[in-house]
Amino acid sequence: MRAIQTIAGAACLAFSAIAAAGQDAVLAEVVAGDWRKPEDRARDAARHPVESLEFWGLKPGMAILEVQPGGGWWTDILAPYAKKTGGRYFATGPDLTDPGLSDQSRKARTDAEAGYAARKNVYGEVGIVNWGPRSVPPVGQFDFALVARSFHGWMAAEGRVAKSLGDLFAALKPGGILAIEQHRAPPGPQDPKAKNGYVTEAYLIEHAEKAGFKLAARSEINANPKDTKDHPFGVWTLPPVRITVPYGSGKEPDPSFDHTKYDAIGESDRMTLRFVKPE
């Protein structure tokens, strides 16, 4: 019992120190949550979740929208945070109103819903927002929207960047925050299809401002100066993906590929931008 009390006391002291430093103790608590996979927590040193979310302006009680949550790295932080602070977490999902939606996408949505329901004790009630080339966004519903490494995918489809940013502008409340994390290309001309996964800050800022957003701040929290951005299989050559054949080629992985150089670089150099919807 005394050992348990000592551990609890140490935790209280740690959270007191966090609060004294101006950090969000609940955010620190959920980042340390035991529901997060060990491999996800191992990436915190490269992705800086507490520092990034505090920079972006996440606050208790917000209505949060995560765009294309993928494997759930951010979900395991944002949803519990919303639950613990009296907010609400929403994720985008395949657009069920689209008559052309594939069976695969419908199954992906069903699987996602089941996954959220299975973690209701940690996530709370999760809302799902239709998202796709024909979806109609909810209007003025969210305080905070996060887009993590989606722009290079949108750029592959004509008009998708403008559609996505327009939907996010409509979905946020006046004064709402658009938080962006994206693989960062060197300054200069932008490949309009972003085939290597990297996007210039200038491109992203230009298109966000065209949608009506105002750039509020940028940070180097997720910068990696070791990233030369000239890898044989684009950004996906680097950890954690570490592919050994062209992305999307369908070819079998190359077991002889030497990862040493790319593992030494670590995760990609990333821009970290905060935009706001004017009030």
| 8 A C-beta contact, residue 275 and residue 204 | no
pLDDT at 77 over 60: yes
d(CA 122, CA 1): 26
Quote the pLDDT of residue 6: 34
Quote the pLDDT of residue 230: 97
**Mean pLDDT across the stretch 219-247?**
97
What dihedral do alpha carbons 231, 237, 243, 246 form, nearest 10°?
A: -30
Phi-psi region of 106 (alpha: psi -120 to 50; beta: other; left: phi over 0): alpha
Nearest to 276 by CA among 176, 162, 147, 138: 176
Q: Which residue has the higher pLDDT, 250 or 4?
A: 250
Quote the pLDDT of residue 8: 35
pLDDT at 13 over 70: no
**Mean pLDDT across the stretch 258-279?**
98
CATH class of 37-276: alpha beta
Predicted TM-score of the model (pTM): 0.91
pLDDT at 20 over 50: no
Quote the pLDDT of residue 16: 40
Quote the pLDDT of residue 138: 96
Quote the pLDDT of residue 149: 97
**Mean pLDDT across the stretch 26-55?**
97
CB atoms under 10 Å from CB of 72, counted, come to: 20
Q: Which residue has the higher pLDDT, 85 or 22?
A: 85
What's the pLDDT tens digit per position in 134-189? 999 999 999 999 999 999 999 999 999 999 999 999 999 999 999 999 999 999 99
What's the pLDDT tens digit per position in 93-109? 999 999 999 999 999 99
Q: Which residue has the higher pLDDT, 201 or 13?
A: 201
Please work out, in degrees rounded to the nearest 5, the angle formed at the alpha carbon of residue 138 by the alpha carbons of 103 and 276.
120
pLDDT at 19 over 80: no
Question: Bridge partners of 183?
Answer: 270
Please give the mean pLDDT across all residues of the chain.
93
Residue ranges of domains in the chain: 1-32, 37-276
Quote the pLDDT of residue 210: 98
pLDDT at 40 over 60: yes
Quote the pLDDT of residue 22: 56
